[in-house]
Structure 1
């Protein structure tokens, strides 16, 4: 496959993941989950870490069982860690959205893991991920998304008794 063909295939996968996300946001959790599973089968456990991170991050949101949600969120974090070591990753991400950078994934990924651990009655694990989320917020833009993640971190910190001087 030529570099151009690989690039087009990557864009197509991100588009397909986005379509499943829209189904979920539109209220069709089961169809979104089915599509995510099909896409996961195409990507594979060792496939492109950007695709795995993105898909697992959104697949977690479709789970009804907190243990399953945790498993998908852990897959997303693992794939993000692989992305961190990849060359030209941020340049590739900006092709999808101008402000994306791998380091900007971590506040949300750790926030999601903290929320999973709260659901599972594991407050110390939740606090650990909240500290990691809080430590990574400097990578977020000062926009609606960044402020929303920071507010969500603060809310969850209040729930589990993990305070912060920062906002």
Structure 2
């Protein structure tokens, strides 16, 4: 999905991307503040693409797994409101079904780290059932690898953060 072409300029998505870069450069609290301000701007009923993207990235900059879980749940809920048509106005290659394995993977990992293996297995199974839709590219490989790591950690009873999923 990284090689896709943007179809419509979207200032909010650009702002989200800039905030995400802060987190990736080690400025987690600044990223969290910037993303939270954007969330307040769009609100809990705003554009589904913006809500899904924001919540997904806000989860990555939380200080606790519980807070991460809450944002990952918001991302999945927003994906339920997102249509392919809306996603493709931003990027012609985006399809909601291609986002879902990642969202369920994140929830599986959250529940695993919180010591709730039953819920973790439920989301892991959901992600695994959807992974066949993913292309054989870098994104698909990253999600498949993440599924394997979370599955192995769950089988081992680990609640530790995985090296393959470091905090942003």
TM norm structure 2:
0.84
Structure ranking higher in helix proportion: 1
2:152 to 137, 155, 158: 158
Gaps of 5+ in 2: 1-7, 157-168
Runs of 4+ in 1 over 3 A off after TM superposition: 94-98
**Aligned position for 2:105:** 111
Higher relative contact order (CA 8 A, sep 6+): 2
Q: How far off is 1:32 after superposition?
A: 0.5
Is the CA contact 2:49–2:86 (under 8 Å) kept in the aligned structure 1?
A: no
Post-superposition offset of 1:148? 1.1
Pick aligned residue for 1:132 from 109, 126, 134: 126
Kindly report the root-mean-square deviation, in angstroms, between the aligned alpha carbons of the 2 structures. Answer: 1.6
Q: CA deviation at 1:40?
A: 0.5
Instruction: Indicate the residue corresponding to 2:142 in structure 1.
Output: 148
Instruction: Output one character per residue of 1:31-66: Cα deviation in whole Å (capped at 9) or x when no partner.
Output: 100001100110001111111000000000000111
Matched position secondary structure for 1:64: coil
**Cα offsets for 1:79-131 (capped at 9, x unmatched):** 00111xxxxx3244234334311111110000000110111111111111000
Show the counterpart of 1:86: none
Q: Which runs of 5+ in 1 are unaligned?
A: 1-6, 84-88, 163-167
Find the aligned partners of 1:102 and 1:125 in 2 and give their Cα distance: 22
Query: Superposition pairs for residues 17-28 of structure 1, below 5 Å?
Result: 17-28=16-27
- TM-score with structure 1 setting the length: 0.84
Which structure has the bigger radius of gyration? Answer: 1
Distance 1:69 1:120 in 2: 11
2:33 is matched with 34
